[in-house]
Amino acid sequence: MARPDPSVTRIAGPWRHHEVHANGIRFQCAEALTGPGDDTPPTTRPLVILLHGFGAFWWSWRHQLRGLTGARVVAVDLRGYGGSDKPPRGYDGWTLAGDTAGLVGALGHPTATLIGHADGGLVCWATAVLHSRVVRAIGLISSPHPAALRASVLSRGRRPGHNGQGRALLPSLLSYQVPLWPEHTLTRHNAEALETMVRSRASREWAASADFSETITHLREAIQIPSAAHCGLEYQRWAVRSQFRGEGRRFMNLMNRPLDIPLLHLRGLADPYVLAEAVDRSRHYAPRGRFAGIAGAGHYAHEEAPGPVNEELQRFLDASTSLLSR
């Protein structure tokens, strides 16, 4: 059976698709349309960039593209995903942060608010540290600070002999470290394993909904685009392998500092993959941060409970814009 073409990710809706060149590669973007009669140049509105997580593409932000107002809202396919280029390398923290900083400039803005889920959130943290001049604020969905996540994975947890975060994260993360086989596993049988993974981390209510059925159909198709599975797994591989290399230690040393910008972290209270302990440890790195839980949601709170998440994000964006205008 022929593999899908990247064009399958150009799904119609109240957004426009376009390509942006940044940091030496091409990114696919889905940009929210403005209301009728609004002909103001897009660069006059504050920029918000949405960054998806593992196994996804821009579509995971469909509810935010429809719901967030007062800003130029752009959802991006990360390096290696969806309709963006899929180079053989560049899945390290420095390059991914450079991608995002480059996108801000390529879209014609001096700064942006970054909002990311899971892996996309880690890119937000890294960009805010390594390219602080272009980051106005960051919003995060189930994405603890990388040093906090590492500490939680390596700790014994709150109960003796029980490492909750390690037990939640390491089995899949370590299984991705071998070559070739994870790509095969992820894409065989029409990417059945991807659906199994998403269902295991989502709430039962969302997993039984029509929205989930539509979304998982798109995700299963997109991960089978040539090289997409390999590139997505390279994020996971760098996260582990860098811990044993000088580059990983240098990266974590750079990240080990508080951020002096507005920050919002949202976590589904039923998230079985990113646990509360790792999020609590992240408070040290965000003295100006607000941390909130989304009732009834799992790992994909922005998709499972878009109403409450959009309310939180809109308040955060409005407050950040107000601070900027003072």
pTM score: 0.96
Cβ atoms within 10 Å, residue 163: 18
For residue 40, the model assigns a pLDDT of: 82
Tokens 């009728």 appear where? 36
In a domain, 8, yes or no: no
- So what's the pLDDT on residue 161? 44
Domain assignment present for 141: yes
Rounded Cα distance between 305 and 284, Å, is 27
Q: Which residues of 227-266 are buried (b: 16+ CB within 10 A; e: fewer)?
A: bbbbbbbbbbbbbeebeeeeebeebeeebeeebebbbbbb
How would you classify the pairing of strands 72-76 and 112-117? unpaired
Is position 116 within any domain? yes
| Nearest in space to 103 (alpha carbons), one of 70, 80, 140, 78 | 78
Residue 142's CATH number = 3.40.50.1820
Structure tokens at 252: 């974590």
**309 within domain boundaries:** yes
29 in a structural domain: yes
* Structure token digits, residue 182: 């994870």
Q: Residue 109: give the domain boundaries.
A: 15-325
Which pLDDT does position 155 carry in this prediction? 86
Beta strands in the chain (DSSP E): 15-22, 25-32, 47-51, 72-76, 112-117, 135-141, 263-268, 289-294
At residue 324, the pLDDT reads 59
Residues 66 and 33: their CA atoms lie apart, in Å, by 9
Edge-to-edge, what's the strand order for the sheet holding 72-76? 15-22, 25-32, 72-76, 47-51, 112-117, 135-141, 263-268, 289-294
Domain count along the chain: 1
Mean pLDDT, the chain cut into blocks of 10 residues (326 residues total): 92 98 98 82 96 98 98 98 98 98 98 98 98 98 97 73 82 96 97 98 98 98 98 97 93 96 98 97 97 98 98 96 62
Q: Is 145 a domain residue?
A: yes
- Residue 47 within any structural domain of the chain: yes
Beta bridge partners of 266: 141, 292
Cβ neighbours of 88 (radius 10 Å) = 10
Q: Give the number of other CB atoms < 10 A from CB of residue 45.
A: 17
Q: Is residue 5 part of a domain?
A: no
